Structure 1
Amino acid sequence: MTKNIMITGASRGIGFELAQLFAEEGHNVLALSRNDKPIAALDHPNIACFPFDITKTSDLLNAKEFVASNWDGVDVLINNAGRVLNRPFLETSAKDFEEVYKVNVFGVANLTRLILPFMPKTGHVVTISSMGGVQGSVKFPGLSAYSSSKGAVITLTELWAEEFKEKGPSFNVLALGAVQTEMLEEAFPGYKAPVSALGMATYIKDFALTGQKFYNGKLLQISNSTP
């Protein structure tokens, strides 16, 4: 059955691979990112895209309007957009924290709030977090803003699942370990991850389509390495 899939952070890495995987399976995809050129260049008939900054109210409303005008609902929302900052805590300003949280927490919350009315009880909101945001996991210097923001969306997911447990949709969060992406290179220069962006995207695609049958309000740690 054809699903309507919304993905943020689709210009590169896992999000870019996810858009292609879903589209190749015949699903309708709205691939959102600030730079829409890589997705637009695919020229795939099942993928719609336009420039989208998750921190801008006008862009959030554009996404809502697209759904209202073109789809009969959203089956899967994948909150994949993220911003990383690797900087010693004493050099991390309040503005630095705010810029990271605008994308990783506030943007996720704002987009989810707008899209939830379009989602059926069987829908699935999947938010991409990080092992760095998991309580008790190994932590790394320089990632105070990033890792704490990723911890915040883990708690948000648990709260959403409780608040919407009667009418749906389902909410789950995936805490990813090291995946070979541009973002990993920013956080850990020179480190080579054992998992490719395509490999992780394949896992996330399958989970997004079926995970709500088994999980709601759960944190799944998807990691075989540290970082």
Structure 2
Amino acid sequence: MSKNIIITGTSRGIGFELVHLFANQGHNVLALSRNAKPVSNLHFDNISSFPFDLCNQDDYKKVSDFINEEWKQVDILINNAGAIVNKPFAETTFQDFRKVYQTNVFGVSELTRTVLPFLKKDGHVVTISSMGGIQGSMKFPGLSAYSSSKGAVITLVELLAEEFKETGPQFNVLALGAVQTEMLEEAFPGYKAPTTAKEMAEYIQNFALTGNKYYNGKVLQVSNSTP
């Protein structure tokens, strides 16, 4: 049966691959990114997209209006969009941290809050974090804003799972290791990851569709390398 799925960060990398994996399976996808062009050029009847900026409060109403008018309900939300700053901590600014946290933490909470009234009891909210946000994992210099934001979002998801455990939906986090994307190149220039964006997208797709039968409020570490 086809599901209604919202994905952020869909103009490139894992998010772009996810949109097409779900659409090819016959699901309805709302693809959200600041640049809607890469997805809107592909003319799938079951892909909707419009420019959406997690840092712009006015854009969230566009999402709730779309759901009200087109779908009425949502099965899956995948918080995939991410922002990264790679520079030594002493050189970071208030604006650097604000930019990263606005997308990686505040954006996740605001979009989740926006979509929540439409999510079914057995709905699934999957948030993409990073191994850099896992306590006790290898930490890399230059990623203070990024990795700390990815730690914050893990705790947020654990809290949401607890708050909504009686009513649903279910909330889980995937903490990803290195995947060959443009963002990886920003974090680790020249490093070649053992996993492609499409391979990771296939894993996330399957987890989004089935993982909430087995997990709620959990962090799964999806990594086969360091970084």
Rounded to whole Å, the distance in 1 between the matches of 2:183 and 2:61 is 27
Distance 2:140 2:44 in 1: 39
Supply the distance in 1 between the matched residues of 2:107 and 2:43 (Cα, whole angstroms): 27
Please give the secondary structure, in 2, of the residue aligned with 1:165. Answer: coil
Per-residue deviation, residues 117-151 of structure 1 (Å, max 9, x unmatched): 10011000000000000000000000000000000
Residue identity opposite 2:158 in structure 1: E
SS at match of 1:6: strand
% identical aligned pairs = 69
Which runs of 5 or more residues in structure 1 are unaligned? none
**What secondary structure sits across from 1:125 in the alignment?**
strand
Match of 1:18 in 2: 18
TM-score normalised per structure 1: 0.99
Match of 1:183 in 2: 183
Corresponding residue for 2:160? 160
- Verify: 1:226 aligned to 2:219, yes or no: no
Amino acid at match of 1:25: Q
Aligned to 1:84: 84
Stretches of structure 2 lacking an aligned partner (at least 5 in a row): none
TM-score (norm 2): 0.99
- In structure 1, C-alpha distance between the alignment counterparts of 2:61 and 2:103, rounded to whole Å: 16
Query: What is the identity, as a one-letter code, of the residue corresponding to 1:166?
Result: E
Match of 2:126, SS?
strand
Matches of 1:106 and 1:89, distance apart in 2: 21
Counterparts of residues 60-99 of structure 1 (less than 5 Å): 60-99=60-99
2:171 maps to which residue? Answer: 171
Cα shift at 1:72: 2.3
Q: How many residues of Structure 1 are paired with residues of Structure 2 in the alignment?
A: 227
Partners in 2 of 1:123 and 1:170 — Cα distance?
A: 6
Instruction: Show the counterpart of 2:108.
Output: 108
Say which SS state the counterpart of residue 142 (structure 1) adopts: coil
Larger deviation, residues 131-140 vs 54-63? 54-63
Structure 2 counterpart of 1:83, which letter? A
Distance 1:58 1:4 in 2: 23
Tell me, in whole angstroms, the C-alpha distance in 2 between the residues paired with 1:12 and 1:60: 21
- Structure 1 residue runs of 4 or more that deviate by more than 6 Å after TM superposition: none
